[in-house]
Chain A
Amino acid sequence: MKKNGVVSRLLLAVMFLFLYAPIFVLIIFSFNDSKSTAVWNGFTLNWYVELFQNRAVMSALRTTLLVSVLATAIATVAGTAAAIGFYSMRRRSRTACLAVNNIPLTNADVITGVSMMLLFVFVGQGLSAFSNWLNGLQWVEDANLWFDFSFSLGFGTLLIAHITFDIPYVILSVLPKLRQLDPNLAEAAQDLGATRFVAFWKVVLPELMPGIVNGMLIAFTMSIDDFVISYFTAGSQVSTLSMVVYSMVRRQISPEIKALSTLMFVAVLILLVIINLRQARQESAAARRRHAAARQP
């Protein structure tokens, strides 16, 4: 029995070592006062300073933040609306929609990325052909017009891709809140003089808020974190942070990358901790409420 305990604890330690050793090595050597990843030469913050002076990195940081914030905002609104739509469906169609919603979550990122890229290229070429056709028309020429609907991969397609893969996460965090919602709440508000819209705004939305915020945080984390889908959909002009890391690594493993990776790791870690703490708090609050309700006659 006791031996068993020792063994399992050892296994656990080995597992954690495998999981986190690479990151710890990375973090430690991002403060190393030499380019080596083998010999410790003393502590320095130089790599971090250099990082912030690197134009490519800074521009990628801006792109990443901008695309993540925009995608999160749009996905939060769209996902919440979709969740409410799903919820008000009949059971059969709701199950079907949920299954469709879950597919992108389990799908390999490469597939999502490649298929989106192909779609964007396809639509882009189609639109450019359409513009050419329009411009060839007599009345267009007469009216002295010039159409150009064509587009290529860039910030726009990157944003659309991020919105697309963020939405399912928002839906998944809002749905449980909808299920917990007392269906009489909205009616009670209407009964007291609220229109349907006001009832939703003043009573339903505040009840869904914790779920919406959770979904928002998860979507933001996913956007910051994403490499594969961005890589395929951003085109050659725009880069996110993870894409910069990738392209720098292909040249050489510079200490700057270690610093950048460390910062990204810490940022995502903080977000995950916040999400988990929020969820744990909400669950214990819900349990308390259930407990209190059960005690009351």
Chain B
Amino acid sequence: MSKELIRLQDLCMAYDDEQVLDHLNLYINDQEFLTLLGPSGCGKTTTLRIIGGFVTPTSGDVFFDGVRINDVPPYQRKINTVFQKYALFPHLNVFENVAFGLRLKKVPEKELRQRVMEMLEVVSLKGFENRKPDALSGGQQQRVAIARALVNRPKVLLLDEPLGALDLKLRKDMQIELKKIQQQVGITFIYVTHDQEEALTMSDTIVVMDGGHIQQIGTPEDIYNEPKNAFVADFIGESNIIDGVMPRDKVVKMYGREFACLDGGFAENEPVDVVIRPEDIDIVPVEQGQLVGTVTSVTFKGMQYDIIVDFRGFKWLIQTTDHSPVGARIGVKIDPDGFHIMKKSQYSGMFGDYSSYSEEYDELSDAEALDAEEDTDAQRREDGYAE
């Protein structure tokens, strides 16, 4: 399980003068389900295309099983790809699409037939052999694309947002299906997505990328519970990110008050970003609260209520199963393990502030819009401290 299969070393990629990948270092283990996660344009597809051999990196090396493969053409790599838009061959039927790779390898007809049919069974497409791709639904086309790649028994399967074109229900089904297939055939999957939930449910390892840099590598639990910076914290799930300082180990100071936490190892009075997940905040009666605020908005989300609470001008998102009406004064309590302390980074102050709350607050933050509001936010925050 833990044998290293692919290593990307100091990988750089530039188109014209635009630096798309900036000194990427990453190794991928055999039989691992690894996900590249990041916003649009962060270089996920480019990384995948370098591994597949469709583009040559500007500098840096790609190793496969310890051998440098920079100059090996795609057709000689033991890697197959499921393309973002499937790229099925329109003039061939499903059977011939899946058989394409085997025919090129001159696999005997009998074995070929058997392997193709087996693979169609794995992706539950038996009976569709004679259909042309344009007579299939999106989900079926997607499964043909997977079968076409897997039938060659690659050591690695690259998948570029393979579920991007499917509706929510089908996506969920296919996520489970894909994970099952991966365990069944026991090969490495390198999966690209910008959907954090998809990444969390399917992956063994998640690589969070932004702007051509790797922000964090870790298991889904690591990434969720111990985000390395404000970008990761914001990108993975909802989070409140608050400015704070660390007066000493295991104590964090926000809004002029000290809270117990579990982190340490910072310089004395080092400014930090404090991440608090909305579900780690408990609502308690006012007199028991570590902080007291006013509810400004309540949204019913099925499993829970999303509540926005105003703490002297700074708004937090809280997820709770208890209903509190708008305008109510409530106290909140956060256990020490609910605080995640991060060093300041270039992303500090860009995310996790719900004072600009709108109906779309759970969509990806728009960095530009946030920039414009930064001044006023900072102002309000300072006002909050002064009181």
Interface, chain A (partner B; CB < 8 A): 182, 184-185, 187-195, 198, 202-203, 206-207, 289, 292, 296-297
Chain B residues near A182 (CB-CB < 8 A): 85, 87
Q: How many A-B residue pairs have CB under 8 A?
A: 66
Residue of A nearest to B158 (CB): A191
Given A297-B138, A297-B166, A297-B167: A187 and B101 interface contact (C-beta under 8 Å): no
Given A185-B87, A203-B89: A191 and B52 interface contact (C-beta under 8 Å): yes
Chain A residues near B327 (CB-CB < 8 A): none
**B4-12, B36-44, B73-81, B293-301: which one contacts chain A?**
B73-81
Chain A residues near B104 (CB-CB < 8 A): 192-194, 198
Q: List 9 A-B contacts (CB under 8 A).
A: A184-B84, A184-B87, A188-B83, A191-B52, A191-B75, A191-B149, A194-B75, A195-B75, A203-B89
- In the bound complex, do residue A192 and residue B90 qualify as a contact, i.e. CB atoms below 8 Å apart? no
Question: Does B148 interact with chain A (Cβ within 8 Å)?
Answer: yes
Residue of A nearest to B160 (CB): A184
- In the bound complex, do residue B134 and residue A189 qualify as a contact, i.e. CB atoms below 8 Å apart? no
Interface, chain B (partner A; CB < 8 A): 52, 54, 73-75, 79-81, 83-85, 87-91, 100-101, 104-105, 134, 137-138, 148-149, 152, 165-167, 170
Given A192-B100, A292-B134: A297 and B89 interface contact (C-beta under 8 Å): no
Chain B residues near A189 (CB-CB < 8 A): 89, 100
Question: 13 new A-B pairs (CB below 8 Å) besides A187-B81, A188-B89?
Answer: A182-B87, A184-B84, A185-B87, A188-B87, A189-B89, A191-B80, A192-B104, A193-B101, A194-B104, A202-B100, A207-B90, A297-B165, A297-B167
Residue of A nearest to B137 (CB): A296
List the 7 closest pairs (A to B, CB-CB), nearest first: A192-B101, A184-B87, A297-B167, A188-B87, A296-B138, A193-B104, A206-B91
Residue of A nearest to B169 (CB): A297
Residue of B nearest to A185 (CB): B87
B147 to chain A, nearest CB (A): 12
Chain B residues near A289 (CB-CB < 8 A): 134
- In the bound complex, do residue B89 and residue A190 qualify as a contact, i.e. CB atoms below 8 Å apart? no
Residue of A nearest to B79 (CB): A191
Given A289-B134, A296-B138: A190 and B75 interface contact (C-beta under 8 Å): yes
Chain A residues near B134 (CB-CB < 8 A): 289, 292
- In the bound complex, do residue A185 and residue B89 qualify as a contact, i.e. CB atoms below 8 Å apart? yes
A285 to chain B, nearest CB (A): 9
CA separation between A195 and B89, bound complex, in Å? Answer: 16
User: A297 is contacted by which of B81, B85, B170 (Cβ under 8 Å)?
Assistant: B170
Residue of A nearest to B54 (CB): A187
Chain B residues near A188 (CB-CB < 8 A): 81, 83, 87-89
- In the bound complex, do residue A192 and residue B167 qualify as a contact, i.e. CB atoms below 8 Å apart? no
Chain A residues near B85 (CB-CB < 8 A): 182, 184
A271 to chain B, nearest CB (A): 25
Chain A CB within 10 Å — which of B74, B104, B138, B167 has the most? Answer: B74
- In the bound complex, do residue B152 and residue A192 qualify as a contact, i.e. CB atoms below 8 Å apart? yes
A276 to chain B, nearest CB (A): 23
B206 to chain A, nearest CB (A): 25
